[in-house]
């Protein structure tokens, strides 16, 4: 598996993570070339895009402090099923593990006993394009989004968009039964496109990863644009 290096110096290594590999396994592979590599954050197995790692303990602590303080700026590209009503929005809930399906996270509202121990999760989004595709004699609708997670909970974007009623296209865990699926899409359409963070030398760095080729191909098969 070819791993594209976005940036490297004595403190950090930023890579363009392919879909289909767990973050920990990817770091283990990279550690053969970069000994002592440490995980700063994670991406889901089937999410591609910018993954930042630390090359020493001091840098790890410095970078993770920014994640804890919510000063890291992150942007994802997501294709969701359906014609999302608003042009932009903010989702603010609590998130915790689902009692019915331990693989999943679940949205909880901040009232009642079930909310105890759950963690705040905030996601903002903006519509990039409204798309459609003929399938089985019917038109299926999709919305391409820029997504800005303000917190970093497990499966946050996928859980929040499903809660909104527009799950990420191709998501096998958070998608609805009989959800529309663009032709040729074999995994969830979620890509970490940008990450902006302060480096140990106090310089602000912005890392970018172009949309993965399989997702780019999926978009070329969709038609733009239809009325709201």
Q: Class of 4-224 per CATH?
A: alpha beta
Cα–Cα distance measured from residue 24 to residue 11, given in angstroms and rounded to the nearest whole number: 19
Q: Where are the domains of the chain?
A: 4-224
The pLDDT tens digits for 2-58 are 899 999 999 999 999 999 999 999 999 999 999 999 999 999 999 999 999 999 999
Strand, coil or helix: 53 = strand
Give the active site residue among 9, 16, 44, 171. Answer: 44
Inter-residue contact 192 to 40 (CB < 8 Å): no
**The pLDDT of residue 225 is above 90:** no
Residue-averaged pLDDT of the chain: 93
Residue 117 CB coordination number (10 Å): 9
Is 44 tagged catalytic? yes
Inter-residue contact 168 to 189 (CB < 8 Å): yes
């Amino acid at each position: 598996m070819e791993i594209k290096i976005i940036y490297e110096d004595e403190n950090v290594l930023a890579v363009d993570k392919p879909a289909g590999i767990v973050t920990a396994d990817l770091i283990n592979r990279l550690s053969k070339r970069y000994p002592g590599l440490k995980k700063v954050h994670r991406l889901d197995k089937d999410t591609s895009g910018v993954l930042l790692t630390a090359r020493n303990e001091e840098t790890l602590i410095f970078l993770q402090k920014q994640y804890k303080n919510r000063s890291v700026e992150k942007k994802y590209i997501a294709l969701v099923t359906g014609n999302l009503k608003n042009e932009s929005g903010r989702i603010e809930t609590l998130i915790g593990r689902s009692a019915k399906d331990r693989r999943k996270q679940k949205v909880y509202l901040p009232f009642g006993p079930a909310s105890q121990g759950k963690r705040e999760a905030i996601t903002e989004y903006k519509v990039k394009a409204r798309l459609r595709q003929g399938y089985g004699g019917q038109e299926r609708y999709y919305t391409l989004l820029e997504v800005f997670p303000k917190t970093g909970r497990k499966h946050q974007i996928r859980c929040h968009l499903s809660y909104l009623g527009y799950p990420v296209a191709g998501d096998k865990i958070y998608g609805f039964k009989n959800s529309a699926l663009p032709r040729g899409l074999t995994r969830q359409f979620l890509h970490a496109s940008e990450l902006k963070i302060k480096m140990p030398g106090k310089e602000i760095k912005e890392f970018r990863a172009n949309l993965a080729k399989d997702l780019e191909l999926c978009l070329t098969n969709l038609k733009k644009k239809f009325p709201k």
